[in-house]
Amino acid sequence: MFNKINSTLLLFSICFLSCKEAKKENTIQNQEIEISLKKSYNGDFLIGTALNTGQIKEVDAKQTTLITKEFNAITPENDLKWEQIHPEKDTYNFEVSDAYVAFGKKNNMHVVGHTLLWHSQLAPWVNEIKNKDTLVNQITKHINTIAGRYKGKIDSWDVVNEALNEDGTPRESIFYKLFGDESYLELAFKLAAKAAPDAELVYNDYNLWKPAKREGVIRVVKNLQAKGIKIDGVGMQAHWSIEGPSIEDIENSIIAYSDLGVKVMFTELDVTALPNPWELDGAAVEQSYERYEGDPKMDPYVDGLTEEAKQKIAKRYEDIFNLFLKHKDKISRVTFWGVNDGQSWLNDWPINGRTNYPLLFGRDNKPKEVYNNVIALKNKAK
C-alpha cells in the first residue's frame, strides 16, 4: 500500500513538473510571437508601411498577417494618386481606395492618404489644362470629392507632394506654371482642411535633410501659418543609402521643422546598399538610367547580400533609429516604403531590374537580421 502511494505521488510530481515546463515553454513562445515593431515602439511613434494593391485586397494571407502584426499605420503606394483614383475628368475609381480605408479601420490602424496634389502620376487629362481657372476648378473638385469621401476615415493626408527643387525653390510643375506662384499650396491646404477637418495635413517631400531644401520647406510652412492655413506636419521621405545622408543633417531638419510647431514624420523609409549613377540626385520617379541596365557593377547582390553589406545596412538602420528615439518627442510616425524587399520600388529605380534589399523583411516575408537589430535598440533603451 505504501509503495502504491509513493508511486502515485511520484507520478503526480512528474506530471506537475512536466505541465509546469510545458506552460513555461508556451509562455516563452507566446512572448516571442508577440514581439513586433509596433509593440516595441509603442508610445514612441507609429510604425507604418506602404501597401500595394494586392496587399490592400488581402490576396496573400501570410502578408496580411505580417502587416497586421508589425504595423499600426498604412500608406497606399499608388492607389490614391490622381492617375489611379481620378483617371478621367468625371470618372473616379474608388474600389481599391475604399478597400484600403476599410483594411485600416478593420485593423485599428492610422490611415494615411497619399497624395492629394502631386505633379507626377497625374492623369493625362490634367496635363492638358491650359488656364488657371480651369485648374483651380479641377483641383477643388478633386480634393472635395476624395478628401470629402473619406472624412473621418483617413487620419492623415499628404496634401501636397514634392513641390520644391533641391535648392528649395518652387518646382515648375503644371500647378506652379498656371498659378504663377506657390499659391496652389494654399488652395490645396485650405480645401483639405475644409473637406477633412479632423485629418492631420502634411507637406511631403524627399531630401528634406538638405539645408537649402530645408529652408524652402520652412518658407512654405511659415507662409501657410502666417495666413492662418492649417498645416500639421512635414513628411520627410527617407529614401536613403548606407552612405548618406549624415545623421547630423537629418537631425538638424528634425529640429528645424519641429521648431515650426508641426509634427515630423518619416514617410517613406528604405535603405539601399546598391550603387547608383553618380549624377543621381533625389528620388524623383521619372529619373531612369537605361544605359546601366544589366551592368553587374550596378547590381552586385543578385544572389544575396554579402556579410559586409548586411552589417553596413544593419549599422545604418541602428544609427537611424537611435536618432528617431532621441527625438521621439518630435516624431509622430515612421513608415517603411514597402512591406518586403521583393515589393520595393528600388528594385526598378533608378535602374530597372535590379535586386535590392532595403527593408526589414525579405522576399519570403520573414524578418531579416536587421529587423532584430531594430527591435533590440528599443529593448536597450528601456
Q: Which residues does the annotation mark as catalytic? A: 162, 268
φ/ψ (deg, to 5) at 51:
-110, 135
Amino acid present at 58: E
- Cell numbers 520652412: residue: 218
Cell numbers at residue 118, please? Answer: 502631386
CA 365/CA 62 separation, integer angstroms = 8
Contact indicator for 203, 231 with CB cutoff of 8 Å: yes
HSE-CB for 68 with a 13 A CA cutoff: 15
- Cell numbers 514617410: residue: 267
Bridge partners of residue 157, in order along the sequence? 113, 201
Determine the length of the chain.
382
CA 94/CA 165 separation, integer angstroms = 32
Contact indicator for 361, 340 with CB cutoff of 8 Å: yes
Contact indicator for 257, 267 with CB cutoff of 8 Å: no
Q: How far apart are the first and last CA of the chain?
A: 57
- How far is Cα of residue 317 from the mean position of the Cα atoms in its chain? 15
DSSP 356: -
Cell numbers at residue 269, please? Answer: 523609409
